[in-house]
């Protein structure tokens, strides 16, 4: 029976992978809709033929790796439980320590190292192609340093979450999911609060913006938007990437306005001011808090669904999987698998909300700066430097894009009725 189940899921994964390859490399022609042709959203107006070719090839590779890596997680977690490896991890952890917290930590370490090793080849392939296409500026050792930071931060946070969750499973056999979600809410908000101060600096160096004239202009925009900011931070991303970015992060008193140095180096001041106005709009429109609220609502539904699915799975197939109740540590890979699946299923909905917020922010930035030329050239440069996909295939947009495509954004700005709206306001 185990061999049969393993064969079914492996063949299913291979068939899915083959379909996604065919969809991305054969079915998706990359043709630009007629509405964008000849406008500033047309890649031929701001990208050379070579750049368009590189952008298309790089995007296909990135998208394929995404669609390969996500179901690969599900496959790995399922096989770990199916063939008893999770049971062995649990047994070794209990033989090593008597304290429950240490048992959980040891078990999670075995599981984390094993899954990291199995998924590492795909991660490395992604890094390799980002180097080939001149997006990444990192050496292999620098990239591995970030990977290890990711590993240990993830391990440390999961150690706390997993221990608490399994203790709740033992105490509240039926309603553990509700208790877990109740504690998950303040934990998530706390993490959002401390991330800009304690977590982000582990990856990069943050320092006040060196260009004080530009900082004054940005802070003036922030003042117009009622954003309580005294400094604009610069981060030295040029040692890691050639792509451009800026963002407003954190909540409460820890909110930060951050510019990548690559953005400072490659955009002019008007373009930077548009980008910063866009990022400030997320703060003004409360997108950060809307994002937290929607994430917590989805987490509530997710906890409930996982509890129901795990109960049904154990009742029907527990004997085959060597699982008698959900509070056994060996069930953790199944829970991780379900979390990943539910996140994937929910991603189209969260992406729709995110794209709506991005459109709001673009409109806000246009209204604030009144400079459509700078906005268009900023997006064109963002697409050029990051080899962004100007018009992605439908499935890619649905599952991957939290932003409108570059073609949509640039065309929307070009056709934005800025003068007409200003005249209407004057007449009123």
> If we measure between CA atoms, which residue out of 249, 271, 252, 283 comes closest to residue 360?
283
For position 428, what pLDDT does the model report? 47
For position 168, what pLDDT does the model report? 96
> If we measure between CA atoms, which residue out of 177, 180, 194 comes closest to residue 308?
177
> If we measure between CA atoms, which residue out of 392, 401, 390, 407 comes closest to residue 355?
401
Angstrom distance (rounded) from CA 88 to CA 86? 5
> If we measure between CA atoms, which residue out of 72, 58, 160, 181 comes closest to residue 116?
72
Which stretches of the chain drop beneath a pLDDT of 50?
Answer: 423-428
Sheet strands (E) in 209-361:
232-235, 246-249, 256-260
Angstrom distance (rounded) from CA 418 to CA 208? 33
Segment 95-132, tens digit of pLDDT:
999 999 999 999 999 999 999 999 999 999 999 999 99
Catalytic residue numbers read 279
Beta carbons of 218 and 237 less than 8 angstroms apart = no
Q: Which residues pair with 410 in a beta bridge?
A: none
């Amino acid at each position: 029976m185990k061999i049969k189940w393993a064969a079914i899921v492996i063949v299913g994964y291979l068939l899915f992978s083959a379909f996604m390859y065919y969809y991305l490399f054969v079915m998706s022609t990359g043709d630009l809709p007629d509405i964008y042709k000849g406008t500033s959203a047309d890649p031929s107006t701001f990208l050379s033929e070579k750049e368009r070719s590189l952008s298309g090839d790089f995007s296909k590779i990135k998208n394929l790796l995404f669609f390969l890596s996500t179901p690969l997680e599900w496959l790995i977690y399922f096989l770990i439980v199916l063939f008893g490896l999770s049971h062995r991890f649990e047994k070794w952890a209990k033989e090593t320590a008597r304290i429950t917290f240490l048992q959980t930590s040891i078990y999670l370490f075995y599981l984390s190292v094993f899954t990291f090793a199995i998924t590492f080849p795909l991660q490395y392939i992604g890094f390799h192609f980002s180097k080939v296409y001149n997006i990444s500026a990192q050496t292999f050792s620098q990239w591995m340093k970030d990977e290890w930071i990711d590993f240990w931060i993830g391990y440390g946070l999961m150690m706390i979450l997993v221990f608490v969750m399994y203790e709740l499973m033992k105490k509240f056999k039926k309603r553990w999911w509700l208790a877990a979600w109740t504690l998950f809410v303040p934990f998530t908000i706390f993490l959002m609060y401390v991330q800009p101060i304690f977590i982000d600096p582990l990856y990069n160096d943050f320092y006040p913006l060196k260009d004080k004239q530009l900082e004054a202009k940005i802070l003036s925009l922030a003042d117009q938007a009622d954003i309580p900011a005294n400094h604009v931070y610069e981060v030295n991303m040029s040692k890691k990437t050639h792509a451009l970015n800026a963002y407003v992060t954190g909540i409460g008193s820890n909110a930060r306005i951050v510019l990548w140095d690559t953005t400072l180096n490659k955009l002019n001041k008007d373009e930077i001011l548009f980008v910063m106005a866009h990022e400030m709009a997320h703060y003004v429109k409360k997108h950060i808090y809307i994002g937290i609220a929607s994430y917590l609502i989805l987490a509530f539904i997710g906890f409930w669904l996982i509890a129901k699915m795990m109960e049904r799975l154990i009742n029907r197939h527990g004997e085959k999987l060597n699982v008698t109740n959900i509070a056994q540590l060996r069930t953790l890979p199944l829970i991780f698998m379900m979390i990943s699946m539910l996140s994937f299923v929910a991603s189209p909905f969260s992406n729709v909300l995110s794209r709506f917020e991005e459109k709001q922010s673009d409109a806000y930035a246009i209204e604030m700066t009144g400079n459509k030329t700078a906005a268009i050239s900023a997006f064109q440069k963002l697409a050029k430097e990051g080899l962004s996909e100007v018009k992605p295939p439908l499935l890619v947009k649905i599952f991957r894009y939290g932003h409108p495509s570059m073609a949509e954004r640039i065309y929307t700005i070009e056709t934005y009725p800025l003068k007409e709206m200003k005249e209407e306001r004057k007449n009123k």
